[in-house]
Structures are given as structure tokens and as C-alpha cells.
Amino acid sequence: MFGKRSANTAAPRASQGPSSTVVEAIASPVALTPQPTVAPPPAPPPEVRRSDEYYMTKSTIFGALIEAIDLSQLSKLDAESAREEIRDIVNEIIAIKNVVLSIAEQEDLLEDICNDVLGYGPLEPLLARDDIADIMVNGSNRTYIEVQGKIQLTSVRFRDNAQLMNICQRIVSQVGRRVDEASPICDARLLDGSRVNVIGPPLAIDGPALTIRKFKKDKLTLDQITRFGAISPEGAEILKIIGRVRCNVLISGGTGSGKTTLLNCLTNYIEDDERVITCEDAAELQLQQPHVVRLETRPPNLEGQGAITMRDLVKNCLRMRPERIIVGEVRGPEAFDLLQAMNTGHDGSMGTLHANSPREALSRLESMITMGGFALPPRTIREMIVSSIDVIIQAARLRDGSRRITHITEVMGLEGETVITQDLFLYDIIGEDANGKLKGRHRSTGIGRPRFWERARYFNEEGRLAAALDASELRE
């Protein structure tokens, strides 16, 4: 129908195309083994609005493409060859059907259809942008993004909720998970480590809700977040020393405050000869050390069997001769096992937790252990926390969208029934400018010798620690 092609690039045509009801299932990337995708050409910015006529034309051409191509043969091609094959066939369909499009419209249509077959459809232009922190899809017609801490509505839309659900299934299937009516909630990740959450019907009433926490292509460092104003240079130096001298660290913060980014930054100061084991619900940490074992939880199967929880992972990694244990997020009874690991020779372990202050983080830890069914007196739990956690780092997302490290706090000990903490660094908001941006400053609290001073001396870092503390006091 569309003419002959050379043997090395042609994808054989199906003699009879599948019915339209099967098109969505066949077009799923499950048919294509995950391969490094070729960076697509620059996509139209979100503010470009497309008409209903554009989407009708695209749907017609997409249906003709599915009938004209053998997807099982297409999946054997590399990503670039498959993309070129699809573009050639779509151009022929446009010519045969006498579809009138400008050059720019035709290029947009070609790219959209390639993304539908080989990638994540309308999401591809957003995933290609490195300035987007979050993508939030609320049904097929409303897609929001977060840029520079502010949420914006885009013009990105899906053909219908069925296409959106198909893309959600495509994403989660790549990491061995599923989302359907029987299991409508799913945590997953993209191949680059970006975190994905899907909640579908019948729980999501207005269509599937897809949320993607994007990772930057270039991993942030402490020096970079210092330049962004998230922490002062002296505070960053303290954090580097904390990471290097194997303090047990809990990173606390609200949703979107930068906890995982900060955890990634701190892991840069782990020595290359240390064995590090990470435990996560959806693997997203990007450790650069050569000796890293990455573990990921597993949901139950269709029969409700085979689930592997975070607590299972933390308990098992204690048998794997770890030197440091990194828990992506502490949210349940695994808190007990992490504290035990920190208290039994695995110094330098780290984890994140949702809380709004260091004091609240300690309370949440205690609550998690209590709710996990451990029949321990409150004082025993607090003694365990005090003997395990050295430093709590508090991250916050402020109302202007900026992210700041607001506390570097030491856990000092117990006084009666109360856990005593000591702030080393604080962030004070002092006002806002004419553009509504908050102004503030990081300041030292004047503590001359923190509790981990002897640990710093053991690692020959007390000179740098003293210099950082002195410099911060001089800045005041």
C-alpha cells in the first residue's frame, strides 16, 4: 500500500490491521523493550494551543498507521530506526489522504505520533524539559507543571482517559508493576529515576491522576544548592563534614521540600571504598560510589501474595555486610530496624522523613515505632532514638516556591523524658522583596563545639569544622 522499503530499515506491514479496540493495547510500550530513547526535536511550548480538528486528524492518521505497520517487527528496530520508519509511513498516509497541513503542523503531528508509539505520548515534551520539577496530570484534559516552585497549567492534553491510562500502564510495567481496577494505586519510576505515582479509576473519579517528580539530568551538588541560596557556604561545609565523618543523619521536610535531592548531595561525601545499601519504595537515589547495592520494595501479586515491604528490605540488608544503609523514606515500622542498624555499627546511615521541624521528626519516629506494634516503653524508644540519630537536617519549601535548609540540629540526649536537641544553623526569614520573593539569612547559633566534634577529630576533620564554625560567626 505504501510502497517498498530497503530491507535494513523496513518494518513489515501487517496484512490486516487490528481493530480499533485493540489499538491501544498494541501501541503500549510493553511491545517495545526499553531502550535509550533518542532526544526528540524541540517540542512546542505548553502555551501553544491545538484545536479539536488537530486531534481528530491525529487520531485518523494514528489509526491508519496502526493498520499499516507490524508493531512486532517495529519492536526489533533500535529507537532511531523505529522513529524514522514511523515518520516515513505517516508522511505517506498524509499524502494519500490529502491532509492539508503546514510544514510546522506536519512536523508537530509526526513528533506526536512517534511519541505515542515509542514513548509516553503527550508527556514527552514535558519530560524533555529540565526546568520542570513536577508533572501533575489530572485526567486527560488538565496537565500542570511546577517550574521554579510555581504550579502552572499547560495546554498538554491526551486523546481521552483511555490513552492516559495506557501510558500509565506503560510506565509502571517497565518496573514490573501494574495499575488497574483491582490495583488502582501504584508507585513506580521512570528509567532515569524520576518518581511516579498513579491512581486510577474507580478511586480517581475524573480520570487517572498521574504525578511525576522529575529528576534533573545533571545531579545537583551541595555547591550548586549553595549558589541557589538553599544554604550558606559555611552551612554547606558543615554538611560535607557531617557526611564525611559518618554521622547518622535524618533529613526531615514537607512534600517537595528537596529531601531526596539533599540526601543525594550528602551521599557524595561517602568514601568510594564503603559498601552502601539503599532501600526504597521506588528506586530514585543516584549514588555515584562504585560499591552500591540498590534494593526496591515489591507490591503483592494478583493473589495478594509476594509483597516485600520496606521493613523486609532493611532487615535483610543487615545480613549483607553494609557499612552504610540509606533508606529513601522512613514511613512505617522500618524506623525501628533503621535505628537498630544505626546503633549497631552502621555509622553514617541516612534516611528521609516527612515532618515540619526537627522536633516533629523525632515525634514521628517515635509514633512509627509505636504504631509498628513494638510494645516498648516511651523512654526506651527515646533512648534508642537518642543513641542512634546524630543530626537532623530540616528542609522546607517556602511560600514563594524557594527551597531552604532551615535547621541543622544535633540530637544531644535525654533529660528526664524529653529528648534534648541543639541547633547549629538556622534560617531566618527577614522580609520579602517587591517581587514577592522571601528574603532571609542563614546564621550560626554560636555553638563552638558540636556533639560530633570527637567524631570529626577521629576523621581528622576538626580543623575544617572549627574553620566553618568560626567563619559563620564572623559572617554574623
111, 163: one domain? no
Q: What is the mean pLDDT of residues 169-177?
A: 86
In tens, the pLDDT along 90-116 reads 888 888 877 777 777 788 888 887 877
Cβ–Cβ < 8 Å for 443, 426: yes
64, 77: one domain? yes
Is the pLDDT at 2 greater than 70? The verdict is no
383, 259: one domain? yes
Global confidence as pTM: 0.75
Is the pLDDT at 89 greater than 90? The verdict is no
Q: What is the mean pLDDT of residues 2-13?
A: 38
Burial class (CB in 10 A: 0-12, 13-18, 19+), 35: middle
**Quick check: bond before 358 cis, omega within 30?**
no
- Nearest 5 degrees, angle CA 450-CA 455-CA 457? 95
Q: Pick from 80, 96, 117: which residue ends a domain?
A: 117
In tens, the pLDDT along 456-469 reads 999 999 999 988 88
Q: What is the mean pLDDT of residues 444-451?
A: 87
Which pLDDT value is given to residue 313? 92
Total number of domains constituting the chain: 3
Q: Pick from 94, 117, 140: which residue ends a domain?
A: 117
Alpha helices in 212-357 (DSSP H): 222-227, 233-244, 259-267, 310-317, 334-342
Residue 182: CATH number of its domain: 3.30.450.370
**Separation CA 312–CA 317 (nearest Å):** 9
Q: Would you say the C-alpha torsion 90, 94, 96, 102 has a positive or negative sign?
A: negative
Name the residue range of residue 365's domain.
Answer: 222-475
214, 359: one domain? no
